[in-house]
A and B are shown apart, each in its own frame.
Chain A
Amino acid sequence: MSSGERSTVDSPIEPAEVTAYPHGWHELDDDPRWYERAVFYELVPRSFYDANGDGIGDIRGIVEKLDYLAWLGVDCLWLLPFYPSPMRDGGYDVADFWSVAPDCGTVDDVRLLVAEAHRRGIRIIADLVINHTSDQHPWFLESRSSRDNPKADWYVWGDDDQRWSDIRVIFCDAEPSNWTFDPVRQQYYWHRFFHHQPDLNYENPDVRAAILAVVRFWLDLGIDGFRLDAAAYLYQRDGSSGENLPETHAFLQQMRKEIDRDYPNRMLLAEVNQWPADVVDYFGDGDECHMCFHFPLMPRMFMAVRREQRFPITEILAQTPPIPDGCQWGIFLRNHDELTLEMVTDEERDYMYAEYARDPRMRRNLGIRRRLAPLVDNDRGVSELLHALLLSLPGSPVLYYGDELQMGDNIYLGDRDGVRTPMQWTPDRNGGFSRADFAQLVLPPLMDPVYGYQAVNVEAGTRDRSSFLHWLQRTLAVRRQHPIFATGGIEVLPADNPSVLAYVRTGSDEEGERAVLCVSNLSRFAQAAELSLGRWEGARPVELVGRAQFPVIGPDAYVVTLGPHGFYWLDLEGRG
Chain B
Amino acid sequence: MTVAPDYEELARLAFAYLERQVWFQSAIDSSSRAQLELVTSRTLRSSLPGLARLVIGRGEQRFQVLVGWREPAELAEVLHGRESALLGPVFDGGEPVLAYDAIADDELLLELLVHVTGGREHASRVRRVSSLVSHASLVYDERLFMKCYRVLERAARPEVEVLLRLDKVGFNALLAPVANWREDGLDLALVREFLPSALEGRLLALTSLRDLLAHASSGEDGRVHEPGADPGSPPPGTDPDAECAAAGGDLASEMRRLGATTASLHLALATAFGDRPAGVSTFAGAQSAVAAADGPGAAQLSAQLAAVDPATAGRTIRLHGDYHLRRVMRSEVGWLVAGFSDDPLYAASDGSSPGRRGSAVEDLADMCFSIRRVAQEALVQRPDAEAAVATVLARAWARRNQAAFLEGYVTTDGVRRLLPRDPSVTELLLATFEVARELRYEATSADA
Contacts and interface: CB of A to CB of B under 8 A. Distances in A.
Is the A/B pair a real complex?
yes
A525 B249 contact: no
Given A315-B332, A534-B127, A499 B253 contact: no
A496 B330 CA distance: 12
Contacts of B199: 496, 498
A55 to B, nearest CB: 39
Interface in B186-243: 196-199, 203-204, 207-208, 210-211, 214
A319 B330 CA distance: 15
A482 interface: no
Interface residues of B, number: 24
A269 B1 CA distance: 65
Given A492-B197, A496-B203, A525-B214, A311 B248 contact: no
Contact of B210 (A317, A496, A525, A534): A525
Contact of B197 (A347, A351, A493): A493
B142 A494 contact: yes
A314 interface: yes
Contacts, number: 64
B398 to A, nearest CB: 18
A197 B248 CA distance: 39
Contacts of B197: 314, 492-495
A318 B196 contact: no
A495 B125 CA distance: 18
A543 B246 CA distance: 37
B207 A311 contact: no
B363 interface: no
Given A496-B203, A498-B203, A535 B125 contact: yes
B221 to A, nearest CB: 11
B249 A347 contact: no
Contacts of A525: 210, 214
A307 interface: yes
B332 A307 contact: no
Nearest to B257: A347
Nearest to B245: A354
A351 B250 contact: yes
A525 B208 CA distance: 13
A499 B207 contact: yes
Interface string A323-356: 0000000000000000000000001100100110
Interface string A292-328: 0000000000000011110100110111000000000
Contacts of B245: 354
Contacts of B256: 347
B330 to A, nearest CB: 6
Interface in A258-296: none
B333 interface: yes
A307 B125 contact: no
Nearest to B196: A494
Interface in A512-532: 523, 525, 532
B391 to A, nearest CB: 20
A317 B331 CA distance: 12
Interface string A479-520: 000000000000011111111000000000000000000000
B248 A306 contact: yes
Contacts of A306: 248-249
Contacts of B330: 311, 498
Contacts of A351: 250, 253
A347 B245 CA distance: 13
B253 A532 contact: no
Contacts of A307: 207-208, 211, 248-250
Contact of A497 (B196, B203, B208, B332): B203
B332 A317 contact: yes
A532 B142 contact: yes
Greatest chain A CB density within 10 A among B142, B197, B250, B333 is at B197
A532 B203 contact: no
B130 to A, nearest CB: 13
A315 B199 CA distance: 13
Given A318-B333, A496-B203, A532 B196 contact: yes
B407 to A, nearest CB: 12
Contacts of A532: 127, 142, 196
A314 B332 contact: yes
Nearest to A313: B332
A534 B142 CA distance: 10
A346 to B, nearest CB: 10
A438 B47 CA distance: 88
Greatest chain B CB density within 10 A among A306, A318, A498 is at A498
Contacts of B249: 306-309
A317 B197 CA distance: 12
A354 B333 contact: no
B253 A311 contact: no
B332 A534 contact: no
Contacts of B333: 315, 318
Contacts of B125: 534-535
A65 B197 CA distance: 45
A311 B211 contact: no
B64 to A, nearest CB: 26
A318 B248 contact: no
Greatest chain B CB density within 10 A among A311, A314, A319, A534 is at A311
Contact of B332 (A308, A318, A495): A318
Contact of A308 (B127, B196, B248, B253): B248
Contact of B196 (A311, A317, A348, A493): A493
A499 B256 CA distance: 21
A395 B403 CA distance: 40
A499 B204 CA distance: 9
Greatest chain A CB density within 10 A among B127, B142, B248, B256 is at B248
Contacts of A314: 197, 332
A365 to B, nearest CB: 22
Contacts of B204: 309, 311, 498
Nearest to A317: B332
B23 to A, nearest CB: 21
Given A351-B253, A493-B196, A311 B203 contact: no
Contacts of A309: 204, 207, 249
Contacts of A492: 197, 332
Interface in B321-356: 330, 332-333
B82 to A, nearest CB: 11
Contacts of A315: 332-333
Contacts of A494: 142, 196-198
A98 B343 CA distance: 74
Contacts of B208: 307
Contacts of B198: 494
Contacts of B196: 493-494, 532
A489 B142 CA distance: 17
Nearest to B203: A498
Nearest to B246: A354
A498 B207 contact: yes
A138 B207 CA distance: 58
A63 to B, nearest CB: 43
B250 to A, nearest CB: 7
A318 B198 CA distance: 12
A47 B332 CA distance: 41
A348 B211 CA distance: 18
A318 B250 CA distance: 23
Nearest to B201: A498
A456 B330 CA distance: 41
Top 4 closest A-B pairs, CB basis? A494-B196, A318-B332, A306-B248, A494-B197
Given A311-B332, A318-B333, 14 more contacts: A307-B207, A308-B210, A308-B248, A309-B249, A311-B204, A311-B330, A315-B333, A351-B250, A354-B245, A492-B332, A494-B197, A498-B204, A523-B210, A534-B127
Interface of A: 306-309, 311, 314-315, 317-319, 347-348, 351, 354-355, 492-499, 523, 525, 532, 534-535
17 contacts: A306-B248, A307-B207, A307-B248, A314-B332, A315-B332, A315-B333, A317-B332, A347-B253, A351-B250, A354-B245, A495-B197, A496-B203, A497-B203, A498-B207, A525-B214, A532-B127, A535-B125
